[in-house]
């Protein structure tokens, strides 16, 4: 990941980040503006379908 590359190119930064983590573990949040609750609820309920991948091969 990006932290691994970061520490490879800046090994002294391990003194500041001794655990080797630059980002929080397992959580991500983002916002792009105001969204209606019903739209968010619908997205969360259908996110497996939304993020589904198809193998063409």
Is it the case that residue 43 has pLDDT exceeding 70?
yes
For residue 56, the model assigns a pLDDT of 67
Place of tokens 């198809």: 54
Q: Please tell me whether the overall predicted TM-score, pTM, comes out greater than 0.85 for this model.
A: no
Are the C-beta atoms of residues 38 and 45 closer than 8 Å to each other? no
Summarize pLDDT for 1-36 with one digit per residue, the tens.
788 889 999 999 999 989 888 877 677 677 777 888
pLDDT of residue 39: 87
- 3-class SS string, 2-50: HHHHHHHHCHHHHHCCCCCCCCCCCCCCCCCCCCCHHHHHHHHHCHHHH
pLDDT value, residue 51: 64
Confidence at 45, pLDDT banded by 50, 70, 90: confident
């Amino acid at each position: 990941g990006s932290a691994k590359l970061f520490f490879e190119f800046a090994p002294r930064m391990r003194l500041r980040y001794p655990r080797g983590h630059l980002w929080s573990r397992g959580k991500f949040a983002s916002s792009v503006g105001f969204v209606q609750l019903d739209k968010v609820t619908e997205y969360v309920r259908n996110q497996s379908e939304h993020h589904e991948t198809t193998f063409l091969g």
